[in-house]
Amino acid sequence: MQINRVFVNSYRAVCSAALNAEDLFKVVCTQKSGIKTSTTFYADKTVGIGIVKVDLEKSLLEEIGTVLKNSNLDNFEETLLVIGSSVGGMRLSEEKYFQDNSYKNINPALHVIDSISYKISQKYTFKDDLSFSTACTSSANALGYAYEVISKGVYKNVLVVGYDTLCKTTVGGFYALGVLSANRCKPFDKNRDGMNVAEGLGILLLQNKQIDTSVEFCGVGYSSDAFHMTQPNPEGAKKAMQNALTCKGLQPEDISYINAHGTGTKANDSSEISAIESLFGKSVPVSSTKSITGHTLGAAGALEAILSVVSLQKQIIMPNSNLEYPEAEGMNYVLKAEEKEINYILSNSFAFGGNNTSLLFGTIK
């Protein structure tokens, strides 16, 4: 039973395309990508990749400080911290290993998934913390959990952090799966050839009280289809979106826009667009922002939630960049930024193992 409404009251974003949320929304709308061709991680492997131009670990604490400064809070002592990350502190461990040619000096506290909350807790005091690692749905699930505990009256304030950095292990893992493109990815295009792995940071302060700039977090839908270790199932994606609609008692025609997971891989794109067409038909506007930001893995859900919130605040639908030859003809792919009345947005995140999460955001009613 829902006791409280849930509002997004502050947010910060850092990724390869921009160093703040306002600039990120602008580059998405003007289709200026942060993806660059790189051989940084493996000299014999050329990949399109999204590398942040600043120290992401330093930015993590700075951006949390900015959220606190911009909030109605004096501190975080009555706030729950929820982290979403796919790889945790793997980059630091990897750097230490190659530096020492040994694993013995790796600090376990800086390696595991809750290494991010460990770092944050060195500077800020939270009521408690929790970490999610569910691959590419990590921060979407963190946001879903935050929605649950606020709506049920367990917490009044929850700070959600989506965070992932890149390292050889991460890049090499996706390369071994054969899903990395050497160029900027092309979500939903017939000629797509893979994704762009990237790093990023997304922070959202969720509260049970509305402020002037609030966007409502209206619900979350989950599914776990367990269809295949890496291949998605359209029915799982469809179920997650259906469950999100149920939270607010909405019908498919109530959705103004879908911010798709849209990675640019053949398996994901065809599965997701099939699920969208099955539930919504072909008229709902759809786009993916990953040709601009890259796929930021565990941070993707948080970053795309922020973009959805800004989209609602500005009443502008974001375009699907780098789309020339749509695979599914007749779908309403957004090809350029469009001013339009937007009431509700679904933001999708899907992960290996059939873990699917769909977040529902809306204007204040």
pLDDT in tens, 97-121: 889 999 988 988 888 889 999 999 9
pLDDT > 90: what percent of the chain?
Answer: 81
Residues linked to residue 126 through DSSP beta bridges, in sequence order: none
Residues 312-336, mean pLDDT to the nearest whole number:
95
What is the reported pLDDT for 230? 64
| 15 in active site | no
| 261 in active site | yes
Sheet strand arrangement including 200-207? 128-132, 79-84, 157-164, 200-207, 7-15, 215-224, 355-362, 344-351, 257-259, 286-287
Looking up tokens 């400080």 gives 65
What is the reported pLDDT for 229? 61
Residues 65-84, mean pLDDT to the nearest whole number:
97
- The average confidence (pLDDT) of the chain is 94
Domain 7-362 falls in which CATH fold? Peroxisomal Thiolase; Chain A, domain 1 (3.40.47)
Quick one: DSSP state of residue 253? G
- Active-site residue among 29, 136, 218, 247? 136
Residues 252-279, mean pLDDT to the nearest whole number:
95
What is the reported pLDDT for 30? 98
Q: Which stretch of 44-53, 136-145, 281-290, 298-307 has the lowest confidence by average pLDDT?
A: 44-53
Cα separation, 264 vs 277, whole angstroms = 18
| Per-residue pLDDT band at 43 (split at 50, 70, 90) | confident
Coil, strand, or helix at residue 273? helix
Cα separation, 217 vs 347, whole angstroms = 11
Q: Which helix (H) or strand (E) is 201 found in, with range?
A: strand 200-207
What is the reported pLDDT for 65? 97
Cα separation, 54 vs 249, whole angstroms = 42
| 29 in active site | no
The count of other CB atoms within 10 Å of the CB of residue 122 is 7
pTM for the complete prediction?
A: 0.96
CB 69 within 8 A of CB 76: no
What is the reported pLDDT for 177? 87
Residues 90-97, mean pLDDT to the nearest whole number:
89
- pLDDT over 70 at 157, yes or no: yes
Please give the full DSSP string across 216-237, using - where no structure is assigned: EEEEEEEEE----SS---HHHH
Using a 10 angstrom Cβ sphere, with 0-12 exposed, 13-18 middle and 19 or more buried, the burial of residue 58 is exposed
pLDDT in tens, 225-235: 776 666 667 68
- Active-site residue among 29, 167, 218, 261? 261
What is the reported pLDDT for 221? 97
CB 307 within 8 A of CB 349: no
Q: Which stretch of 56-60, 152-156, 176-180 has the lowest confidence by average pLDDT?
A: 176-180
